Structure 1
Amino acid sequence: MSNRLLVPYDGSEPAKDALEYALEKFPDADVVALYVVPVPEGYSAVFRDPEERIPAADRARDHGRNILDEVVGLAADRGRDLDTEIVTGKPDHEIVDLAEKEAYDTIVIGSHGREGVSRILLGSVAENVVRRSPVPVTVVR
């Protein structure tokens, strides 16, 4: 059985399903819910005024904290403790990097997030995590 689980959480229904699965199937594991504040991508992001980006980043982190506060309550309703973490970056890279650096045993991830399904069965973040992860990944649909 896994001792440390990383559950990426963005507030979507598949992420909630993944968290509930992790709490139910791994009753003795330490579970950490991770919110990744996505960085803007693309050519135009380079030219935005840095003063405009800082408040947006602060709002995004606050939004992440609010989402993670909800999951702490969800875990408490099930009699479980839950740690949370917020990082900034490209979600699939941050998930894989954190799993490797922090020695997680397993990643439990929803099949797709708020952005919908970019592929027929698996969202692009989940697919990239499965492909790149140094630890086992459970995808919950």
Structure 2
Amino acid sequence: MVERILVPIDDSDRSTEALEFAVERNPEATFVALHVHEPVYGEGFAWRERDEKGDDDVERLFERVEGLAEKHGIALETVTSEGKPSDEIVEYAEENPVDAIVMGSHGREGASRVLLGSVAETVTRRSPVPVTVVR
């Protein structure tokens, strides 16, 4: 039985759909919504770090998913992390008790998705637990 499900979230519709999918399939589970802030690096330094606006965006994101959790009557924990999303998601699954990961197919679109690779694909290959990708 799946008891704890990790759902990586960002501001994309796909991540919200992934959470809704996970809730519909596993209404008795506890959910962990993980948001990863990815700094942008250039010439050896981070030039886009998390700022107050970014913190406000994350708060709004968590308010949205907490509202969804309340609507469905599920237990939801929220967690933030900073780094490369695929690494942070896999690391969280390795270091915390989760039974599965449910994630959206992508948060990026267009050329950036092709050039930077698919986070979902990397997580699927490296995850220590089963991964469901919602398209």
**What is the CA distance between 1:4 and its match in structure 2?**
0.7
With structure 1 as the length reference, what TM-score do the two structures score?
Answer: 0.84
1: distance between equivalents of 2:129 and 2:30?
16
Structure 2 unaligned segments of length 5 or more: list them.
Answer: none
Q: Which residue of 2 aligns with 1:18?
A: 18
Choose which of 85, 91, 106 in structure 2 pairs with 1:91.
85
**What is the CA distance between 1:64 and its match in structure 2?**
1.3
2: distance between equivalents of 1:94 and 1:108?
15
Choose which of 84, 104, 126 in structure 1 pairs with 2:98.
104
Distance 1:136 1:58, change over 3 A: same
- Give the 5 Å matches for 1:1-141: 1-43=1-43, 46=45, 48=47, 56-113=50-107, 115-116=108-109, 118-119=113-114, 124-141=118-135
With structure 2 as the length reference, what TM-score do the two structures score?
Answer: 0.87
Structure with bigger strand share is: 2
Query: 1:72, 1:81 within 8 Å by CA — same for their partners in 2?
Result: no
1: distance between equivalents of 2:46 and 2:60?
29
Amino acid at match of 2:72: R
Percent sequence identity over matched residues? 46
Structure 1 unaligned segments of length 5 or more: list them.
Answer: none
1: distance between equivalents of 2:86 and 2:61?
19
Aligned residues: 131
